[in-house]
Amino acid sequence: MDKGVKIIGVTVVLLLIASVIAIFLNLRKSDNTYVVILQDNEVIYSFNLSDEKDRTFRIECPNGGWNDVKIEDGKICIIDADCPDKTCVHTGVLRYQGVPIVCLPHKLVIRFSDKENS
């Protein structure tokens, strides 16, 4: 085996191990109930899920397009969007601190907030 191939192989394996560790750190279930919704990196909604009433609302994107966000039983998810791939819909309910719901075409991020801000 060539030296070059070896170096590349080892680098790839190291990256893989680092990724597995990072995923385990990320995938711990969050007991945090404070959620923020960011659009274009600006907070447009911020709430405590355990106090929120069940409801569905639409977030419009300034450049056109929308996402329907649903809150139910203290859980939040995107139930519909007008983009073709609907990745944010398939992502499902927000569960993990490290895995936000992201809609790339509409620059929308739903994630748990770091601090218990109001």
Partner 1 sequence: MKAGKLTRLALLTALALIIFIVELHFPNLIPLPGVKLGLANIITVYAVYKYRPKEVALIVTARLILGALFAGNVSTLMYSGAGAILCLAGMLLFKKVIPYRYIWLSSVVGAILHNTGQVIVAILVIGSFAVVSYYPILIISGCIAGAFTGICAQLLLKRDLHGQCISKEVK
Cross-strand partners of 75: 72
- Residues 4-43, one symbol each (x = binds partner 1 by CB under 8 A, - = not), give xx--xx--x--xx-xxx-xx--x-----------x-xx--
DSSP summary character for residue 50: G
The tally of CA atoms less than 13 A away on the side-chain side of residue 80 is: 5
Interface with partner 1, residue 87, by CB under 8 A: yes
Least spacing, CB of residue 112 vs partner 1, in Å = 11
Least Å distance, CB 53 to partner 1, is 26
Closest CA to 56 of 80, 21, 31, 83: 80
Residue carrying structure tokens 């899920």:
49
Question: Taking CB under 8 A as the rule, does residue 78 contact partner 1?
Answer: no
Closest approach, Cβ 52 to partner 1, in A, equals 21
Q: What is the CA radius of gyration of the chain?
A: 18
**Is there binding between residue 61 and partner 1 (CB under 8 A)?**
no
Q: For partner 1, which stretch binds (CB under 8 A), given 50-58, 70-78, 89-97?
A: 89-97
91-110 residues in contact with partner 1 (CB under 8 A) are 91-92, 98-100, 102, 104-105, 107, 109
d(CA 38, CA 84): 21
